[in-house]
Structure 1
Amino acid sequence: MAFKSCSRLLNHLHTRHTRRPFTPESAWSSNAWLIGDDQTKYLSSNWRRRKMKPDNLAAHMADPLDEDLPMTASEAQQLTVLTNLPFVVPFQTRVGIFTNMLSQDRLSRESDRDVIMHDAGLAESSKVIHVKVRRDFLYEDSFNDLSSHNAPDLHRTLRVTFINQAGAEEAGYGAGVTREFYQQLVRTSFQPGRGLFKLTDDRELYPNPNADHVVENMSQHFYFLGRLLGKMIYEGMQIELPFAAFFLCKLLQPKNADVDINHLQSLDPDFYRNLMFLRSHEGNVADLDLNFTVVDDKFGATRVTELVPGGHDLPVTNENRVRYIHLLSNYKLNVQMRVAVDRFRDGLSNVIPLEWLRMFDHRECQTIISGAEVPINVNDMKDNAAYSGGYTPEHPTIEIFWNVLRS
């Protein structure tokens, strides 16, 4: 009970720190939790195979029905910390554990598929997902070929073929074509013009609250996009896809768990400041002529939604303004995009267990998705570059390339 209470308090403080830092980052992690590579692989294997029960050390101890070797008390303690207080473990250590779990999962699934294919007499080609897409209809064709009906197991390898405007298959295959496919698909899928996502003032993505008025079968599209993001993380592919902090926080929370007013600033800073002004307003709030409703503009059509039953006839006063502020924040952050977030989360968890991602806070999760925001080290790239096709570091074309890259 004491551990549960302490971990809940520390998680609350750390969550607050991720929104508005109040102490150095080094204060949260400890080198005492640095784990060697061999132990990282062992912990990854046990976490992936066992049903984790937070707060319960005994649940991670030896199980007579478990095929794995029993864990020691120290190993069980490490897993308990990872599932309850992950931020005390250095980020790079957690990344190593996460990467190992994904690698082990891929090997396990591939082994299982080999057995199934052998027993069923299936061809080798059934191990991959064949995707044929027209460049002008990249999203539409991908949405069809990678739907949960046509591709129920998105953990399999993708084999992509592009179809040109003449209807012919383009030459080329392999990792380069697949990476191009992912990059172009992500770019067109999440662009605000498609209507599924919008941009905050900081140009960060979040689900469009009006998506159901723009896209038919909206929930299927958000499920598809969640699976797409999960697939990219699963394959270790990073792409520039900046998500709003509140949205990532919602994805990492259990279903039906809401974020509160403290996250509103990452959605709409001006709206947040207006609510803070209302909370501290020293005059008579009733003079502002507010009631417990919210007005939405749906493509030129105004819709009034009551925050509580009878909210249209309930004025906002000095006495009830705090309740009004929290209800309005809840509507903006949770109610109006609940279906979209839930379906996106469902799609994401179809590929990657959310328990694994919850090792990271929303900032770290963004790093997993897009990589760290650090300057490119051109000299390091040059020192580690490999040349072929008759090119050498002294070749004029290569020298021009590095000069252009530096500039």
Structure 2
Amino acid sequence: MLCYWGARVIEGFGLVQPDQVKHGHSGIRSMWPTSKVQDMSAGRSFLGFIQDGKVSVLRLRSEDCDCHLETLDNDGIRRIVCGGDGAVLLSDSGKVLFMDKPTVCKPLKSLDNRQVIQIACGDHHSMALTNDGQLFVWGENSHGQLGLKKDHPTSLSAQHVQSLSGIPVAQISAGGDHSFVLSLSGVVFGWGKNSAGQLGLGDTTDRHVPTLVKSLHWKKTVSISCGGEHTATLSKGGTVFTFGSGCHGQLGHKSFKDEHHPRVVAELWGSKVSHVTCGRHHTLVSVASSKLIYSFGCEIQGHLGNGELTTQSVSFPVDLPNECNDEYTIDKLIAGENHSFALFVKELESKAKSNPGSGVLTLNDRIIDRWLSGTDAWAIIKQEINTVFSSAASVNGSFLKTSWDNHYQTSEEHCGLDFDLVKTSFAKLSENKSLISEVVKVVQQALLPSLNANPTGVESLRVYLLLPELIRHLKKQKIELTEALASKILQLEPDACKVLEKYWSKLPDDWLKSLMKLFHKESAELIGQVSCGEMGYDLTRRLKKFLQILQMINQVCCSANRDIANRDFIIHEIHDLLVTLETTLRTVVLWILWAAFNDDWEDTLKLGDHCFKTITILVKFPFAVDTVSKQRIFSYLEWELLVSFPDPDKMASHGNILHINRESVLTDTLKYLRQQTHSFRNPLQVVFIGENGVDMRGLSAEFFSLISESFLKCERKVLEVHESSLVWFNPDNTKDTRDFYYLGVICGMALFNDLYINIDFSLALYKKLLQLSPTLNDLEELSPLEARTLKSLLEEDEEEVVDMFSFDFTVKGKKLIPNGDQIPVTKANRQKYVDLYVDFVFNKSVKKQFKHFSEGFSTGCPLDAWSIFHPEELQELLQGSPEYDWKELQQCASYERCSASDELIKNFWTVFFELSEENKKKFLMFLYGTYRVPLGGFSKRPLKISLLDCGDAKDRSPEAQTCFDRLILPKYSDINTLRDKLIHAITYCKVFGRA
């Protein structure tokens, strides 16, 4: 049954005889066509019907009501949409035809190779959606209604809206000069004319590209309808939102004002509306449960259907004939310019009716089962695979979590995917070699190349979550697909990349671990290939990409506190790479020494060079390298720097030798450095004036210990020792800033020469060097009392107690913010105060000091590869390990001309373990020139004890060959003599290696 009302038209439309039209209340007519109406549409000029796949078009001439019926002999038409100037038709095979004259119907050739599933028509533009989720537009672009960017010309051929290529579109709609699409997850995009706010964006500025309507987020939008200059949306629960022009009351808000944001039609609240459609100046809604139709807007020609001929800004029910409430239900509502139509079908027909082929083809468990069953021909399956896996829109619309409408919550925090369904579906798909092979081919050749670096909407990013799970199940072409995926992720614009990282941070544990393992495994395999002698730019290029993705995942795990340990990111194959490099270097050195080159000479050099290039890549990804390997990498790069960039001029003039007096270490050193003759790229050589020692690291080690103490005791007070015994820059020393520069130079030189400083800097210093921000925990390490007070301030629940702290925004009289002394710290602003306090201590108060120190550090250590270390590792490299495992010192000791079972050695260890902690450290200073423990413990610098069998042992003191880590121990006759001599040696040692 068809009901219609509004401006005068020819009785029966030629579908029935005029006398078969029944006239009801309020000008509503009803009729029963002899042939079922499959679809119909009303525009400004035409009214179209589809019956048995054939189209009938009626020209509407409002000026004289002269209606003329035309029939088009086009079989297989299933959809018609009438616009302002003409109509667009859709055939059963997915072909699009357009009609601008009642008797002329032409195919739209630019869409010949596409299977279209939806069409829409505005006043002067049209839209078509294909089964793979691609949106095409054509017509006028006066207000940007084509969505093809500003100044794009009018187009008579269909143009692809590329910005929406990744959005799984559920519905398209075209208004007068504006356009909308709705995604499967209820996300709404609008563009085009916005003079009355019909885009719902809060303003009246036209948009030339699809723009997200943020105010409709999470409203569970299921349909959209565009009018002349207004828009209506329907939510899943039946709530109607309208926005745009309200001058005719068409928004239903009890007013005639325009609305620039979507607003609920309050009069319909609780009605559970099932359908909404917009005409040019009026709106119709239907409620399936009550079989009622409501209307509001312009009523001048009776197109509201309630007997009134005035505009109405609130909804009133349409006076439907009594037959509509019996065995019929509403199938379709059509609101034209001056007409309204309601198509009714019988209840049984409505339940049986479906609309196949109107949605984008997406992947689900049912389709995969059908593919696996083999019931369809292979050609059909291949076509479906191509449709789904060549389109980002189709992939992004697959496997949505529909339980509890979860996918409607899609946002930057929620991706809307059903992870369990994805996992089981891809596992099944991978079992069939033919299917998975075809999928891989399509993904590699079509999907990945099509991905947009700047996608519109967060739904476009689901593909980056789905593809790793698909790749994980592959056995072939895994590395190629992984590389292609990595390339696309790295090409993403920063905003899109941030959203993807948020999605990663919310992944289930097993998914996040699988993602990490995918790129970890591929990185490890590439490093392993280099270790085995394979070379080529392609290897290092791939490795860099994989490591970049792995770094992103590592940062996500750290910031989100995910349960993946840092050690899981370490690539142990790096050890093999370093072994290969070491072997190669040793071979090259031997060839040079022996002048015995063979046919493998050039290949070996190339392998060494390739290993070095691989190592320089690893420097940028410290999370993947264990501490020991980092030290080795740093050492190799030091060696390469020395070999590749020697400084013979400076070496020749002074030999890179520092001559100093023990009594004036700091003065002599600064004088030497100011001469600017030192080559920082070469090892330091130290000579203590008046002493015969030759520097083979031992003298240099002692030098750095002595100059560290000099800086701590410096009268200019460069450093401050806090109550924690840790050291920080003196914020009050702002005049002698060059002292901080030279302090940095000394620290950099110590690092470059693999030696230690005896200054216990706070970990915050190393964070700052690595461009990381110190935190309240760092302040607690440096100044426990200060930090505990601040923590108490943050933890206090009572506002009154917070006020009792009587803090303002100052630190030691320094204002943290303008007028800080006038602003009290309250419960509301205390976090800001604490953050500013920490920033002041570690940054603002020592800005100049740190700047000069950092510059000096980079000068003293010309190899910037120290950035490979974590702050804790860099701290231990420069200051030594804080752990003193004395048992380890004993266990790692070796012996010359004696053994661990000798009485003398037993007595030595007995005496050693009797020593106080301070004297044990003095022993280290005596033996090594520093009391700092190497990173990795005493095993990295083991003690050697050499027996001196002489007749005058009782007159001799122990001696230390510092350069060789050797203790020369006379053969004392008893333990007491040994004790006295050892304590005297470590206490009164002033000259290198002697008491």
Compute the TM-score of the two structures, normalised by the length of structure 1. Answer: 0.70
Which of 551, 570, 577 aligns to 1:7? It is 551
1:290 aligns with 2:781: no
* Identical columns (%): 19
CA separation in 2, counterparts of 1:403 and 1:389?
13
Letter in 2 for 1:396: K
CA separation in 2, counterparts of 1:26 and 1:173?
43
Deviation at 1:207, TM superposition (A): 1.4
1:208 aligns with 2:720: no
Secondary structure of 2:826 counterpart:
coil
CA separation in 1, counterparts of 2:969 and 2:793?
66
340-349 vs 371-380, greater mean Cα deviation: 371-380
Secondary structure of 1:309 counterpart:
coil
Letter in 1 for 2:620: T
CA separation in 2, counterparts of 1:158 and 1:79?
25
1:229 aligns with 2:744: no
CA separation in 2, counterparts of 1:194 and 1:127?
30
CA contact (8 A) 1:200 1:244 kept: no
Letter in 2 for 1:283: E
Letter in 2 for 1:277: S
Deviation at 1:396, TM superposition (A): 1.6
CA separation in 1, counterparts of 2:748 and 2:766?
13
Letter in 1 for 2:789: N
Q: Matches of residues 8-407 of structure 1 in structure 2 within 5 Å?
A: 8=552, 10-11=554-555, 14=558, 26-40=567-581, 80-84=617-621, 86-110=622-646, 112-113=647-648, 125-126=652-653, 128-147=655-674, 149-151=675-677, 153-162=679-688, 169-175=689-695, 176-191=698-713, 195-212=717-734, 216-217=735-736, 219-253=737-771, 258-284=773-799, 285-295=802-812, 304-353=813-862, 355-372=864-881, 373-376=883-886, 377-378=889-890, 380-383=892-895, 385=944, 387=946, 396-397=971-972, 404=979
Deviation at 1:331, TM superposition (A): 0.7
230-239 vs 371-380, greater mean Cα deviation: 371-380
CA contact (8 A) 2:768 2:774 kept: yes
**Higher CA-based Rg:** 2
CA separation in 2, counterparts of 1:354 and 1:283?
52
CA separation in 2, counterparts of 1:207 and 1:194?
12
Letter in 2 for 1:281: E
Unaligned 5+ runs, structure 1:
45-66, 118-123, 163-168, 296-303
CA separation in 1, counterparts of 2:976 and 2:619?
45
CA separation in 2, counterparts of 1:305 and 1:324?
13
CA separation in 2, counterparts of 1:136 and 1:79?
42
Distance 1:239 1:263, change over 3 A: closer
Distance 1:76 1:152, change over 3 A: closer
Distance 1:133 1:81, change over 3 A: closer
CA separation in 1, counterparts of 2:810 and 2:969?
69
Secondary structure of 2:827 counterpart:
coil
RMSD (CA atoms): 4.1
Q: Per residue, is there more helix in 1 or in 2?
A: 1
Distance 1:158 1:334, change over 3 A: same
Distance 1:342 1:32, change over 3 A: same
CA separation in 1, counterparts of 2:852 and 2:976?
45
Unaligned 5+ runs, structure 2:
1-489, 491-496, 498-546, 586-604, 897-943, 954-967, 984-995
CA contact (8 A) 2:719 2:728 kept: yes
Secondary structure of 2:892 counterpart:
helix
CA contact (8 A) 1:293 1:312 kept: yes
Letter in 1 for 2:665: L
Distance 1:40 1:90, change over 3 A: farther
CA contact (8 A) 2:687 2:694 kept: no
CA separation in 2, counterparts of 1:178 and 1:346?
22
Distance 1:390 1:126, change over 3 A: farther
Letter in 2 for 1:289: S
Deviation at 1:263, TM superposition (A): 2.8
Letter in 2 for 1:143: L
CA contact (8 A) 1:158 1:178 kept: yes
CA contact (8 A) 2:724 2:783 kept: no
Distance 1:319 1:394, change over 3 A: closer
Letter in 2 for 1:334: N
Deviation at 1:182, TM superposition (A): 3.0
Distance 1:100 1:106, change over 3 A: same
Structure of higher RCO (CA pairs closer than 8 Å, 6+ residues apart): 1
CA contact (8 A) 1:29 1:90 kept: yes
Deviation at 1:33, TM superposition (A): 3.9
Secondary structure of 1:209 counterpart:
coil
Deviation by residue 1:231-290 (Cα, 9 ceiling, x = unmatched): 12212223544321111211222xxx6434343222222222222221232222345432
Secondary structure of 1:242 counterpart:
coil
Q: Per residue, is there more strand in 1 or in 2?
A: 2
Distance 1:9 1:310, change over 3 A: farther
Letter in 1 for 2:747: L
CA contact (8 A) 2:571 2:625 kept: yes
Distance 1:30 1:339, change over 3 A: same
CA separation in 2, counterparts of 1:13 and 1:347?
34
Deviation by residue 1:339-368 (Cα, 9 ceiling, x = unmatched): 222211111111325741121112211221
